[in-house]
Structure 1
């Protein structure tokens, strides 16, 4: 539950921070006083701030991932394991038709891996030391195929686009309703102020939190779906049996992960949840992913 709460808070904080900055510097009021130039102007305003935060996060994703995990990029393999790791990533990347990603290892006890990056030809694939120690080469190769699948499918960019569009809609809807509430509270007087009263400000803040909560559910639904596609890619590159074996081995993690919340959704697996909390899971249960691969045959 703690990781779910942190994920929601991270996404909502982006929207809240942008709104506060706009408010402090008068951007929100100036735009509102001019009626946002009509619906087109309001949409443009929402898109700049809604899409902006998402794409800034994507552009910084590799740097943040390296810094937050302490990942060490393999410039020159130092031993046989590192050579195998780089060669396997290169082979999968060639089969997927993408550029060679940076390959890194980060120190963590659990079995995990992630991929991130702004484009298919400028990505990062990192594995935990625990995965290399606890999986055999066949299983680890399948995990690497899964991560290359994420890159080849453009999952990072697609997730960013979805997040950006939803952020835009959240900002847009909150401000439209805010102006209606502000107009109602003022009794329809002074309509040319463009929604700058206390009713507008409070309504926008509250609705961005509420709408943002529902937006997070949609983002997580896509995140879960893309894991099935990446599993299929891992099966294609390394063999279906190897991918199933890797997922079965991952069940020993019991949903544990030390990945920072900013990149937790890019890990090979995520924490489990029950009931309503399942709507905020970034990964489907491993047994469902295993069953999907078994049935795919």
Structure 2
């Protein structure tokens, strides 16, 4: 869910910025002689990174809102006190500041971490996991999430998304300009200028290229899950990390949960090879196998 919210915010900012700038005629990279590619690249970089940075800065607020997570200000019972103490110990061992700790209402076993930097983060666990799972497995899952924070995964994801945004906008405008000039090839007065065909084609190409480029972002997302699993094993023990993953997989296979669990990323079986390209998390069997080889 944290990844989905991040991407949706990023896309919304990108599309709104493109529309507003187009309407206001701010796109100065189009001149009488055609496209100024240097100016175009700078323009795309500025607004490409703006979308990802805004998404990063809003990530904690959006995660709290989207999951209805309640931050533990004062522990109300033994479990909440234990959770705070556990996260504090893991954060200290990982070399980061104590993140906010929250619980969100969900029967499924889930957890997530987010935040704009490793010293101002949020980690959250579902009420179902906190109620059902043994302490060592909960500790392993929280260690996994602390691993995401300590590895700076959200910042790295934002940088990758910024680069992806830049080139999506860049190539979409080149393609849109080419389409517009082709449609207006018999209009001599239209040379060096653009019509509505440019804006429509650019928007279509932005969506198409954005879908293709998301494969790069999803590849990194899968890669960082292996790194977070390794961090979880280092902080809480390999056996506990494997046991937590195996338990979640077992619950998932015995239930009617959706194919993608929103936070911890456990999903049933394997998707098609094409579907794997757009998956934010690797299959759990692959994650367990990687841990066993550590």
TM-score, L = length of structure 1: 0.87
Structure 1 residue 42 and structure 2 residue 40: aligned? yes
What 5-or-longer segments of structure 1 have no aligned partner?
Answer: none
Please name the residue that 1:285 is paired with. 283
Paired residue secondary structure (1:27):
coil
Deviation at 1:27, TM superposition (A): 2.7
Deviation at 1:192, TM superposition (A): 5.7
Paired residue secondary structure (1:115):
strand
C-alpha distance in 1 between matches for 2:4 and 2:67: 20
Please name the residue that 1:152 is paired with. 150
Paired residue secondary structure (2:293):
helix
In the alignment, is the contact (CA less than 8 A) between 1:11 and 1:212 conserved in 2? no
Please name the residue that 2:22 is paired with. 23
Structure having the larger proportion of residues in helix: 1
In the alignment, is the contact (CA less than 8 A) between 1:8 and 1:216 conserved in 2? no
* Per-residue Cα deviation, 1:212-261 (whole angstroms, up to 9, x for no partner): 1111111111101100000000000000000000000111134947999x
Structure 2 counterpart of 1:95, from 82, 93, 96: 93
In the alignment, is the contact (CA less than 8 A) between 2:260 and 2:267 conserved in 1? no
C-alpha distance in 2 between matches for 1:171 and 1:107: 38
How many residues end up aligned between the 2 structures? 286
In the alignment, is the contact (CA less than 8 A) between 1:114 and 1:125 conserved in 2? yes
Paired residue secondary structure (2:241):
helix
TM-score, L = length of structure 2: 0.88
> Do the aligned partners of residues 184 and 124 (structure 1) sit closer, same or farther apart at CA in structure 2, a change above 3 Å counting?
same
Please name the residue that 2:221 is paired with. 223
Q: Which has the higher contact order (CA 8 A, sep 6+)?
A: 1
Deviation at 1:83, TM superposition (A): 1.1
Quick check: 281-290 or 4-13, which moved more?
4-13
In the alignment, is the contact (CA less than 8 A) between 2:29 and 2:37 conserved in 1? no
Please name the residue that 2:264 is paired with. 268
Quick check: 171-180 or 140-149, which moved more?
171-180
> Do the aligned partners of residues 258 and 123 (structure 1) sit closer, same or farther apart at CA in structure 2, a change above 3 Å counting?
farther
